[in-house]
Structure 1
Amino acid sequence: MNANEISFENLPKAVGHLLSEIAELKLMVSKGQPPVTTPKRTPLGIEDACRIIGKAKPTVYTLVRKRLLPCYKNGKKLYFFEDELLDWIATGKKKTLLEIRTEAESDVRRRNQNIGGR
């Protein structure tokens, strides 16, 4: 629950939320578990981006200019996040022959059903 959402009308809901958070913290402390934190995303420079995706700097600059590669710009410097670069690589997956064959067979079956159903 966000602090901006707290008003007199939803005060009971806010108190309930706080009680559940406190109970969760007590449980973690009693078990000796560290609190779960989301990992911080650290921005990478152009050199790290080149190393991750295996491309030369001019190629990365071209991909950025064509808006094909996810990036952020602050001033004159480009920044990248590793998870976004890995996702970008994953979107370029080539289908295997088995995947192509299975897809073609399902298309043929679907078309035959459509022709027979007319």
Structure 2
Amino acid sequence: MHNPFQEIAERLNSIESILADLQKVATSATTPIEPELLDVAQAASFLRLTTQTVYDKVHARTLPHVKQGNRIYFFKDELIGWLKAGRQQTVEQQTDQAREVIAASVARRQRKGGRSSS
């Protein structure tokens, strides 16, 4: 006959072992992760632009970059942020935003007692 308390004890030992392993991984993973650094060619490839376009955007200061001496570097996470900042809204998103602005304007007017006749 199988002892259920023995099975519980075995499972508990297994869980404790897994937790100890996770704790070791968590403490070893506390070292800061260096952001990925790209050169011009890598940045151009990542952004799917020509290297000349990357240089043009650096010259116009529209692309986030780091300059060390004669070398230009890019942090990949900053390039991703730059891409996200330029994201265009869909027509549906623009319509929703317009409705929110109109609703807020109407609510302000109603709080002020409606339109004033001038």
**TM-score calculated relative to the size of structure 2:** 0.67
1:57 aligns with 2:44: no
Identify unmatched segments of 5+ residues in structure 2.
Answer: 1-18, 113-118
What SS does the corresponding residue of 1:80 show, helix, strand or coil?
Answer: strand
Greater gyration radius: 2
Q: Distance in 2 between matches of 1:113 and 1:42?
A: 47
> What 5-or-longer segments of structure 1 have no aligned partner?
1-29
What is the root-mean-square deviation of aligned Cα atoms in Å?
Answer: 1.7
Residue 31 in 1 paired to residue 13 in 2? no
- Over the matched positions of the two proteins, sequence identity in percent amounts to 25
- Give the superposition deviation at 1:48: 0.3
SS at match of 1:68: coil
**SS in structure 2 at match of 1:106:** helix
Rounded to whole Å, the distance in 1 between the matches of 2:64 and 2:106 is 42
Amino acid at match of 1:47: A
The aligned residue for residue 37 of structure 2 is 43
1:111 CA drift (Å) = 1.4
| Alpha-carbon distance, 1:31 to partner | 1.7
Report the alpha carbon displacement of residue 59 of structure 1 after superposing the two structures with TM.
1.1
SS of 2:80's equivalent in the other structure is helix
Output one character per residue of 1:55-76: Cα deviation in whole Å (capped at 9) or x when no partner: 1111111111111111111111
